[in-house]
Amino acid sequence: MIGVIDYDMGNLGSVLNAFRALGLPARMLDSPAEASDCRLLVLPGVGAFGDGIRHLRRRGWEPALREWIAADRPFLGICLGLQLLFATSEESPSEPGLSVLEGEVRRFRVPPPLKVPHMGWNRVHAEPPGADVFEGIPAGAHMYFVHSYHACPQEESVVAARTEYGGHFCSAVRRGALVAVQFHPEKSQAHGLRFLRNVAAMAGLEPVEAR
């Protein structure tokens, strides 16, 4: 079972629907107590860093997520769900994040005519191309982005993909069974769905029709 964490941060239903469209078992989770039979936890979300971490705390997810990730259980963060893995963000400097990855989240500083937020389709360059959760996805495939801030990992070893927008930024991270992306795979058509299927396979889950 895939558990999509509901913490009142954006249209989480689109992520749930994407997994279901792939024939993968998924449901929304209101509290950590509902995650006991899940093989993969997904933390999506859009919105402000400070609001996100406060909502996670209020619902009891902060310690539960740290424990889940520390045990190296399969986890996928999407957009805000990537940024919240880090210790701090320029967006909400007084609110500490989950601190499971070293580094910070910074606002884009881009030259004209580029604008903030970074919005729309852009190329994702996996490192190395086509490996692991990017298997079957062409090098430089277009994925859909909507964000004003980007993660800056302290450890280069966790960077799984980069994207160009006034300079290269980290658009995916991977450490053990932890995967997180800045783009929205649920909005990225065939390549995004292939990515979600790859992440589910990492957790030992296959589409129902493939069984």
Residues recognised as catalytic: 79, 184, 186
Q: How far apart are CA 6 and CA 21, in angstroms?
A: 19
At 89 the three-state DSSP class reads strand
- Which alpha helices (H) appear in 59-145, and where do they start and end? 61-70, 80-83
Q: The tokens of 162 are what?
A: 């980069």
Q: The tokens of 82 are what?
A: 């990537």
Q: How far apart are CA 192 and CA 197, in angstroms?
A: 9
6, 49, 120 from 65: Cα distances, Å: 13, 16, 30
Q: How far from chain centre, in Å, is Cα 139?
A: 19
Give the position of tokens 């801030």.
149
Q: How far apart are CA 126 and CA 181, in angstroms?
A: 11
